[in-house]
Structure 1
Amino acid sequence: MKAVVIEDFGAPSQATLQDLPMPEPGAGQLLIAVEAAPVNFVDSLVFTGKYQFLPERPFTPGKGPAGKIVAIGEGVEGFEVGQRVLAMAEHGGYAEAALVPAKDAYVLPENVSSEDAGVLSLAFDTAWTALFEQGRMQPGDTVLVLGATGAVGNAAMQLAKIKGAKVLAAVSSPDRADEVKRYGADAIVDLSQPNLRDSLREQVYAQTGGRGADVVIDPLGGDIFDAALRAVAWRGRVVVVGFAAGRIPTIKANYLMLKNIEVSGLQVSDYRKRRPDILDAAFREILALASEGRILPGPRKTYALAEFATALDDLLERRARGRVLLVPNGAVD
């Protein structure tokens, strides 16, 4: 089988596409033919060795692949060869076949394709946990989603709307308004307005009668986080899920006390290790909603496995609209 292999950390282009022996599943594992492997911002940290969870080299990167079961390891129950699954593996997805933990695999409904599952992967479980565990969102809350056109942002908008929130989508340009409203946004916050420190808060206050946002989902960090913190309602909750804008912000603790607000961080892989019951509940609901047509997996751009470096670069440089997927065993756009 062909697989992307990282032998030394560095730019994605330094990794190589290699022919490897087809693996056999061990105890507690499934072997899947990978039909869709999401390309994520965090993958750039894996390639460069900056991610907090890294296996021994050489290894194949790629979190959360979806595909068809071709072999089942000893002691695994509840799965059958030929079933399609979404497997929340920490690595191995950038390949034609992958060994994945059965405990982290979810059988896909018939009407949810592997590509759809690849779009849901890592984005919807992150958003679900950020909203309902860390953010404790309740019906009637106002949720401000930063990075609303990204994968986690899209997921957060849809899930918050389904659960009865008012959704404010922060976008880089008002031209993106129709796009985010299709996925649940009630109104936009225009990040291109001058004096972001004040203009973001003014826009949120205008949409909330001066109250502010009850929950903020932030995959961006940087100046946008700084501005959003000033737009949080009394007893509001900010959940940090990433730093795609580049700068890791700092917080003056007295500001948290003055407004009785909370800022928490989410590393969803830790939930998978420490509270798998919560992630199981998340995926049961996410896949049920997808099967019912209540959430839209959304647009995607597909790439051949050999194009992995281009796919990641297109994601980082925002040249690709929607989710970026590798399709090692399928047709590409």
Structure 2
Amino acid sequence: MQAWLCENPVGVDALVWKELPTPQPGPGQVLVRIHAASLNFPDLLIVQNKYQMKPDLPFVPGSEFAGVVEAVGEGVRNVAVGQNVACLAGTGGFGTHALAQAATCMPLPAGFPHVDAAAFIMIYATSHHALVDRAQLKAGETVLVLGAAGGVGTSAIQIAKAMGARVIAAASSEEKCALCRSLGADATINYSEHKPSGSLRDEIKKLTDGKGPDVIYDPVGGEFAEPAFRSIAWRGRYLVIGFAAGPIPSLPLNLALLKGASIVGVFWGGFSRQEPKASAAALAELAQWYAEGKIKPVIDSTMPMSELKAAYAHMGSRGVKGKLVLVNPGA
């Protein structure tokens, strides 16, 4: 097999494409021939040694991939050799083959292409866990999605609309706002016109008739967090998804008191490990929604696996709409 190897986590430039022995699956594991792998923000952090999970060196980055099962280890019952699967393994995706725990693999129904499948689990499982489980979103409520044109943001728009919510999508350009509207967003906020230090709060107030959003979905953090949280409705739920802007914000807790609001952590990885049955049920529901056409990953572009470094650069430019997917030749 071949793969991008991280031997020293000092950044993308240190990654090296290498030939490695093809591993054999142990108990509970599967060997997957990778057809497609998506690029996620944690994939950048992990090669910079900035992610909460720090794998032993050397490792192959790439948290999420899809392909065909080539071998199964002892005790594997949920997938079989020759089956198409999507896997969220944390590492291993940026190569031609990878081992994954069978429990982290989602069997793919017919008609579910590998490119879509490789861009599916992380964003949709996160947004489903956030909106359905953690926020207990109800039809008719208003959701403000920050960073709405990115991978998790686009998935949040689609899931919120599938649940009957009103969606306000915030993004950094008119082009990205147009994408959000095409996905069903009822209103949009352009950060270039309404900055966190400027009129962002006023625009949120205007679009919610002064009430504020019932749920705020925040994968951005940084300077956006406090003005958004100050705008939340009574009994609102502020979903902490991630910190794509960089700095981890500090929110004045008196705001939670005054608004009767909840600050809710969302970590799908922990949820899937602690509550595997609930996680599997959520993935099954998401697969059904995909089959029904309610949700579909937004693919910014596909690139050859050999162009991983260029894909990282594109993601770092903040120009990505939806997900970037790497594909292997002949896949």
C-alpha displacement of 1:5: 0.9
2:309 aligns to what? 309
Change (3 A) 1:146 1:28: same
Contact (CA 8 Å) 2:29, 2:73: kept in 1 or not? yes
Maintained 8 Å contact 2:45/2:51: yes
Q: What is the aligned partner in structure 1 of residue 328 from structure 2?
A: 328
Retained in 1: the 8 A contact 2:83–2:107? yes
Residue 98 of structure 1 corresponds to 98
Q: Which residue of 2 aligns with 1:256?
A: 256
Aligned partner of residue 199 in structure 2, secondary structure: helix
TM-score, with length taken from structure 1: 0.95
User: Which residue is 1:157 aligned to?
Assistant: 157
2:266 paired residue number? 266
Instruction: Work out the percentage of aligned pairs sharing the same amino acid.
Output: 37
Distance between the aligned counterparts of 2:161 and 2:320, measured in 1? 25
In structure 2, how many angstroms separate the alpha carbons of the residues matched to 1:325 and 1:176? 19
Looking at structure 2, the residues matched to 311 and 85 of structure 1 have their Cα atoms a distance apart, in angstroms, of: 23
Give 1:27 deviation, angstroms. Answer: 0.8
Equivalent residues of 1:36, 1:66 under 8 A apart: yes
Assess if the C-alpha contact under 8 Å between 1:183 and 1:296 holds in 2. Answer: no
Match of 2:123 in 1: 123
Matched AA of 1:113: P
Cα drift, residue 197 of structure 1: 4.4
Quote how far apart the aligned CAs of 1:264 are: 2.0
2:183 aligned with 1:193: no
Structure 1 residues 120, 234: CA separation in 2 closer, same or farther (over 3 Å shift)?
same
Q: Is the Cα–Cα contact under 8 Å of residues 143 and 168 in structure 1 kept in the other structure?
A: yes
SS at match of 1:46: helix
Deviation at residue 263 of structure 1 after TM alignment = 1.2
Check if 1:278 corresponds to 2:275: no
1:46 maps onto 2:46 in alignment: yes
Change (3 A) 1:176 1:220: same
What is the rounded CA distance, in whole Å, between the counterparts of 1:150 and 1:195 in structure 2?
A: 18
Greater CA drift, 167-176 or 92-101: 167-176
The normalised TM-score by structure 2 is 0.96
Q: CA deviation at 1:196?
A: 3.2
User: 1:63-93: per-residue Cα shift (whole Å, max 9, x none)?
Assistant: 1211111111111113221110011211111
Is this contact kept in 2: 1:119–1:300, CA < 8 A?
Answer: no
Q: Distance in 1 between matches of 2:320 and 2:176?
A: 14
Counting only pairs closer than 5 Å after superposition, residues 1-333 of structure 1 correspond to structure 2 as 1-194=1-194, 196-197=196-197, 199-330=199-330
Residue 196 of structure 1 aligns with an amino acid whose one-letter code is: P
Q: CA deviation at 1:318?
A: 2.4
> Could you say what the CA RMSD is over the residues aligned between the two structures, in angstroms?
1.5
Secondary structure of 2:64's match?
A: coil
Tell me which amino acid in the other structure corresponds to 1:177: C
Q: Give the whole-Å Cα distance in 2 for the aligned partners of 1:320 and 1:224.
A: 19
* Residue 118 of structure 1: how far off its partner (Å): 1.3
Unaligned runs of 5+ in 1: none
Q: Contact (CA 8 Å) 2:218, 2:241: kept in 1 or not?
A: yes
Contact 2:149 2:177 in 1 (8 A): no
CA drift of 1:194 comes to: 4.8
Deviation of the 1:267 alpha carbon: 2.1
Pick which of 246-255 and 197-206 moved more: 197-206
Query: How much has 1:182 moved relative to structure 2?
Result: 1.3
Rounded to whole Å, the distance in 2 between the matches of 1:151 and 1:138 is 23
1:261-313 deviations in Å (ceiling 9; x for gaps): 11122222111221222321221111111112221222231222222121112
Alpha-carbon distance between aligned partners in 1 of 2:194 and 2:188, rounded to the nearest angstrom:
16
Q: Is 133-142 or 214-223 further displaced after alignment?
A: 133-142
Change in CA separation of 1:148 and 1:195 when aligned onto 2, cut-off 3 Å: closer
> Secondary structure of the residue that 1:321 maps to in structure 2?
coil
Q: Equivalent residue of 1:233, what SS?
A: coil
CA apart distance, 1:218: 0.4
Provide the C-alpha distance between the structure 1 equivalents of 2:205 and 2:182, rounded to a whole number of angstroms: 23
Report if the CA contact (8 A) 2:230-2:255 is conserved.
no
CA distance in 2, matches of 1:111, 1:153: 25
